[in-house]
Amino acid sequence: MQAPGVYDGLSALLVEQAGFEAAFLSGACLSFARFGRPDMGLVTAAEVSETVAVIRDRISLPLIVDIDTGFGNALNVQRTVRDFERAGASALQLEDQQAPKRCGHMSGKSVISSQEMVGKIKAALDSRHSDETLLFARTDALGVNGFDDAMERAQRYLEAGADALFIEAPQNREQMEKISAQFAAEAPLIHNLVEGGDTPIEKPAELEALGYRIALYPAALLHQFTPQAQRLLTHIRKEGDTRKYRNEMYSLSDMNRVLGADALLKDGQHYDAKS
């Protein structure tokens, strides 16, 4: 399953219209797009929950939500799970970084003990309203304590009840093969496809052959949009018009078509007062 990263109603709608099976609310991209900040733990639980609700009001796709460290200890995790599930999350991705967290493909990370993370996983599972709300356990220990510790942690997180496993930023194909050999038959495996990150495999067919079942593309939309936006803005500042890029741009009518303006107006007519 491929799940592109989303960060607002428009990005989520585009992913749904493109025919994907799920969307991934990336904490990194929410920080990038909404706040213009890097992925360094600056987004609050309330801001993520609000975004989940906005996206859920617009699309019906299963929504995987990045809940970072759960925004605190085990008790904070429980409140986060309740709030996000109520807002419309279908699956919650919890990681074992120590606050303040940072992007999984950045250096300088630190992790909590595996015992504390196991407690967080159990707290999250106990607070779910529905068993259909999945919990994905992510470990960032590989880049901190090494591959063996990451594998041991993943085993413990699986035994604690996690529905899927995510060992962040494997360094080579051999590590991914070992991850697959140990866990693919036990739980769905997740892989992060980050442009410019430490991702050793980028083709979905290769991931599937290794037993990985969920491929996340957390920043693909923004990694494409940002340089295009910079070029357009530079041209506007110099030339004062957008004619050079007009063939690459949507018109207002195009945007209304994508966003479903006609259907919305038709719905509104149903409630118009009759004379």
The model's pLDDT over 88-129, given as tens digits with 9 standing for 90+, comes to 999 999 999 997 776 656 566 899 999 999 999 999 999 999
How many angstroms separate the CA atoms of 2 and 218, rounded? 10
- How many angstroms separate the CA atoms of 148 and 84, rounded? 32
Average pLDDT over residues 151-180: 96
Per the listing, tokens 């859920």 go with 56
Do residues 68 and 97 lie in contact, with contact meaning Cβ atoms separated by under 8 Å? yes
What is the b/e burial string over 206-232, where b = at least 16 CB atoms within 10 angstroms of the residue's CB? ebeebbbebbbbbbbbbbeeeeeeeee
Q: Residue 13's pLDDT is what?
A: 98
Asked if residues 111 and 141 have their Cβ atoms less than 8 Å apart, the reply is yes
- Read off the DSSP letter of residue 18: T
pLDDT at 142: 95
pLDDT at 37 over 80: yes
- Position 109 scores a pLDDT of 82
Q: What is the mean pLDDT of residues 143-162?
A: 97
Tokens of residue 32, six digits: 């990038």
Mean pLDDT value across residues 173-192: 96
pLDDT band at 272 (very low <50, low <70, confident <90, very high): confident
Judge whether 200 and 171 are in contact, CB under 8 Å: yes
Tell me the helices (H) and strands (E) count for the chain, helix number first: 12, 8
For residue 124, give both structure tokens.
């999250």
Mean pLDDT value across residues 63-84: 97
Q: Which domains does the chain have, with CATH numbers?
A: 2-225 (3.20.20.60)
Contact 95, 51 (CB under 8 A): no
The pLDDT assigned to 226 comes to 97
Q: How far is CA 158 from the centre of its chain?
A: 20
Percent over 70 (pLDDT), the chain:
96
Q: For residue range 18-32, what is the model confidence (pLDDT) as tens digits?
A: 999 999 999 999 999
Helix (H, G, I), strand (E, B) or coil at 68: coil
Instruction: Write the DSSP symbol of residue 78.
Output: H
Residue 70 phi/psi, 5° resolution?
A: 85, 0
Backbone phi, psi, residue 201, to 5° = -130, 130
pLDDT tier, 271 (very low <50, low <70, confident <90, very high otherwise) = confident
CB 6 within 8 A of CB 24: yes
Q: What is the pLDDT confidence band of residue 76, given thresholds at 50, 70 and 90?
A: very high
Decide: 168 and 151 in contact? Cβ < 8 Å. no
Q: Which is nearest to 158 in space by CA: 174, 133, 177, 179?
A: 179
Give Cα separations from 64 to 24, 248, 268 (angstroms): 5, 31, 31
- pLDDT for 275 equals 47
Mean model confidence pLDDT for the chain: 94
Predicted TM-score of the model (pTM): 0.94
Q: Which of 61-75, 195-209, 247-261 has the lowest mean pLDDT?
A: 195-209
Tell me, what's the pLDDT at 185? 96
Task: Classify residue 3 by its DSSP letter.
Answer: E
Which pLDDT value is given to residue 219? 95
pLDDT band at 34 (very low <50, low <70, confident <90, very high): very high
